[in-house]
């Protein structure tokens, strides 16, 4: 496969977008700024040009920048005005999927997918990616690209070529001009390996991810997700100095949620009528109990307790100021081989954010998914 250059890539992306995604771009323009990106399936890229698609996996940074410039140019050419949208690549091939514990040095810089569960999320914060500084000596404005989130990089020189006074950083002071700087929304997300990916007795590994712009605020703790993005590294610091050992991070490029969030579950009017009819039945408790793991015979008390745990109640504030929660916890004990794990696994599949874990792979923080 011959490496592609950024100028060639932008031209190719413009051709691709015009060939396959005219309608999607029109919808983006109509819905802007509520919609800020267009999803492009890797399968469509493969069908359009296999070499082009494969180069995306090994040169993702070049492709992502070229696609960003291409979509802006196509929208301008179509008369939609100045916008700054994104192309989100989804449905990466299965051989690009990695477990967090299997990430290695050779994966760095590639476009990869990680199947995981969300354990922690930060708040959404603005981050400067192009900072504007004013020289205190002459008032000249300088811009500096900010490549990471850990430090604010200041100018080394008030550049005379750009009209500055040629003073070095130690000879003047540079102050940040926020209103002239370019900011993006940023969120930090911690992902953890799925329980079914773990071998017995092994602690699940985690990875810190960075989401930007319209990807912020998309996930909640407990959500299962396929995160597509590019791996990068940062040196571990010890005693205020960088070390030759690095931590791995994922810069998220697109998200494919594996479970439907509760707020997005749509109930039709017919389903509402059916639910109300069921609620009026006198045998509703027995009906729901019998519907749980019907292939497991008997155990009505156990099934009923698990059924009740699925339904959230109403929290109440008592007269003395204390609060009674509307949710309950179930402690299920029994002899080996009486289908406890089978029942709990069944319940985890019923609950939109249910998680099933066991043994030493469970930790307090891992189960509570603290935000």
Nearest to 296 by CA among 242, 369, 346: 346
Q: How far apart are CA 314 and CA 299, in angstroms?
A: 28
pTM confidence score:
0.70
**pLDDT value of residue 133:** 95
Closest CA to 9 of 81, 47, 58: 58
Write down the pLDDT at residue 365: 46
pLDDT along the chain (371 residues), means of 10: 67 93 90 90 94 93 92 88 88 93 92 92 92 92 86 90 88 92 92 74 83 92 91 84 89 86 71 89 88 84 84 80 79 79 77 63 47 36
Q: What is the pLDDT of residue 259?
A: 66
- Domains present along the chain, CATH in parentheses: 6-90 (3.30.1640.10), 96-124+191-261 (2.40.50.140), 126-184 (2.20.28.10), 266-351 (no CATH)
């Amino acid at each position: 496969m011959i490496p592609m250059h950024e100028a060639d890539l932008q031209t190719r992306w413009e051709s691709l977008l015009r060939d396959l995604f005219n309608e999607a771009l029109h919808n983006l323009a109509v819905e802007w700024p509520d919609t800020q990106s267009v999803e492009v399936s890797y399968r469509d890229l493969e069908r359009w040009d296999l070499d082009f698609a494969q180069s995306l996996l090994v040169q993702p940074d070049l492709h992502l920048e070229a696609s960003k410039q291409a979509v802006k140019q196509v929208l301008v050419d179509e008369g939609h005005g100045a916008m700054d949208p994104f192309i989100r690549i989804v449905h990466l091939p299965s051989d690009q999927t990695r477990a967090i514990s299997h990430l290695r040095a050779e994966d760095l810089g590639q476009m990869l997918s990680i199947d995981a569960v969300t354990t922690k999320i930060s708040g959404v914060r603005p981050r400067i990616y192009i900072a504007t500084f004013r020289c205190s000596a002459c008032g000249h404005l300088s811009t500096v690209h900010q490549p990471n989130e850990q430090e604010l990089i200041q100018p080394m020189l008030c550049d005379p070529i750009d009209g500055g006074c040629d003073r070095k950083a130690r000879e003047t002071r540079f102050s940040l001009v926020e209103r002239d700087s370019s900011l993006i929304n940023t969120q930090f997300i911690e992902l953890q390996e799925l329980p079914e990916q773990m071998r017995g007795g092994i602690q699940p590994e985690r990875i810190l991810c960075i989401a930007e712009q319209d990807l912020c605020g998309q996930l909640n703790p407990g959500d299962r997700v396929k995160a597509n993005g590019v791996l990068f590294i940062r040196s571990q610091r010890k005693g205020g100095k960088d070390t030759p050992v690095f931590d791995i991070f994922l810069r998220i490029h697109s998200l494919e949620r594996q479970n439907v969030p509760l707020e997005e579950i749509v109930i039709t009017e017919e389903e509402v009528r059916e639910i109300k009819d069921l609620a009026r039945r006198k045998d509703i408790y027995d009906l729901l109990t019998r519907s749980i793991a019907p292939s497991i015979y008997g155990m009505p008390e156990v099934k009923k307790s698990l059924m009740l745990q699925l339904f959230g109640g109403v929290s109440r504030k008592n007269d003395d100021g204390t609060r009674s929660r509307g949710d309950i916890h179930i402690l299920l004990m029994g002899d080996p081989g009486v289908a406890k794990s089978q029942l709990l696994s069944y319940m985890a599949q019923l609950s939109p954010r249910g998680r099933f874990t066991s043994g030493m792979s469970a930790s307090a923080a891992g189960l509570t998914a603290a935000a």
